[in-house]
Amino acid sequence: MLRDTINSEKLKDYWRNIDKNILFSFLSLFFLGIFFSFSSTSSLAGERLNKDFYHYFSRHLIFSIIAIILMFTISYVKISFLKKTIFPIFVFSIILLILVPFIGVEIKGAKRWLDLSLFRLQPIEIVKPFFVLVIAGLISNQKNKFTNYTHFLSLLVLSFIVILLVNQPDVGQSILLITTWISIIFISGIKISYLLIIFCSLVVLSMSLLFLFPEKFGYITIRLTTFFDPSKGDSFQTDKALAAIKQGGLQGQGMGEGILKERVPEAHTDYIIAVITEEFGSIISILVITIFLYISFKIIKNCIKIKEEDLKISLCGLSSLLIFQTFIHIGVNTSILPTTGMTLPFLSYGGSSLIGSSILAGVILNYTKNRFNDE
């Protein structure tokens, strides 16, 4: 009886202290993802792969439920416990990432997944949120004493992960991590001159790799060439995605009436925003984007009230990760950016993406809670 009372009080405290605006925003994205999955994957499963029409939808639903439970769990635990688990989980996820070249599954020329029988895990999706937290903790702990040293150490961590990603190859995730890292060190107060030097060095290094190892990175050159001059390469997927967005207009073609998901192989993952726009219109897509921007706005607003430096940097880093990934996904779909595989957080099909999104959401909710003796 006493235990039930204590647990009841803890739940009441949790509900009182949680940022409900951010919570309901995340839940809205999860539920929208479930709804859009039903629309975008039924024909893929039934007509093209000869599987049950609800095969992908049921898997997405299961992973969404698991992800929501994980989000609530992470947001509920004490922050002291959460901080203790960050580094061990980060190291474990890096080990999984290291294993990918050796025992990973190759799909369409890219080896990015580990086959766990029940599903395929993409380790980088787990690495990303913990990368932000580790880098934020590293920089904030020594912020006043060894700033340049910690920035250099964080660059080494970033470089190691990027090398692993480029080897898969996965340039999209590499760019996402690099831009997120730049935002973190910028927020931490690094001198602009240092930031410019780092940025220019990364650009020079990237261009050097393209020219020195054309057999390994030739596909990047092809994609960049196609982006600037579509007549010199295959821009089939982006052309169809852009055409679908135009076809959708403001109100869309209607649920299940879109044809992009039948023409583009990865429409339910890398081109989900184009599928949404084609079937439900630009108004719904703008609503989705607005939710992402609102979450980012609320996070920044919370940062103003938070005193702990590591929490501030962590929240800004996670917000940057969320916004940059959303921007890259939409940019590719609208031909603003060159083609690269990038899911839309919470909405795209994929268990790894959903789990990674839930970790990000859970940490944000935990860090933005109003705390009374939570340490």
Q: How far apart are the first and last CA of the chain?
A: 26
Does 94 reside within a domain?
yes
Tell me how far apart the alpha carbons of residues 286 and 368 are, in angstroms, rounded to a whole number. 26
Take residue 247 and report the two structure tokens written for it. Answer: 């076809």
Does 119 reside within a domain?
yes
Closest CA to 139 of 274, 366, 316: 316
Based on C-alpha coordinates, what's the Rg of the chain? 21
- Amino acid letter, 358: S
Tell me how far apart the alpha carbons of residues 99 and 102 are, in angstroms, rounded to a whole number. 5
CB–CB of 130/93 below 8 Å? Answer: yes
More confidently predicted of 43 and 85: 85
Does 349 reside within a domain?
yes
Give the pLDDT confidence score for residue 5 in this predicted structure: 53
- Can you give the residue range of the structural domain that contains 170? 20-190+235-367
CB–CB of 1/343 below 8 Å? Answer: no
Give the pLDDT confidence score for residue 375 in this predicted structure: 46
CB–CB of 29/344 below 8 Å? Answer: no
Does 11 reside within a domain?
no
CB–CB of 257/275 below 8 Å? Answer: no
For the CA atoms of 94, 97, 99, 100, what is the dihedral angle to 10 degrees? 180
Q: How many CB atoms lie within 10 A of CB 340?
A: 19
Does 361 reside within a domain?
yes
* 3 state SS of 177: helix
Question: pLDDT for 319-358, tens place per residue?
Answer: 999 999 999 999 888 888 777 778 999 999 888 999 999 9
- Amino acid letter, 190: I
Does 218 reside within a domain?
no
Does 89 reside within a domain?
yes
Closest CA to 238 of 343, 108, 335: 335
Model confidence band, residue 2 (pLDDT cutoffs 50, 70, 90): very low
Residues with Cβ within 8 Å of residue 270, at least 6 apart in sequence: 329, 332, 341, 342, 343, 348
CB–CB of 275/39 below 8 Å? Answer: yes
Cα separations in angstroms, 200 against 97, 206, 251: 27, 10, 43
Give the pLDDT confidence score for residue 42 in this predicted structure: 61
**Is the pLDDT score of 227 beyond 60?**
no
Take residue 66 and report the two structure tokens written for it. Answer: 């698991």
Please tell me the total count of domains within the chain. Answer: 1
CB–CB of 296/22 below 8 Å? Answer: no
Window from 43-52, 67-76, 81-90, 170-179 with minimum mean pLDDT: 43-52
Question: pLDDT for 263-318, tens place per residue?
Answer: 666 667 888 898 899 889 999 999 999 999 999 999 999 888 888 888 999 999 99
User: pTM for this structure?
Assistant: 0.88
Does 302 reside within a domain?
yes
Question: pLDDT for 12-58, tens place per residue?
Answer: 888 888 999 999 999 999 999 999 888 776 655 445 555 556 778 88
Q: What is the mean pLDDT of residues 2-9?
A: 60
Helices within 230-281 (DSSP H only): 236-248, 260-263, 272-280
Pairing of strands 120-121, 110-115: antiparallel
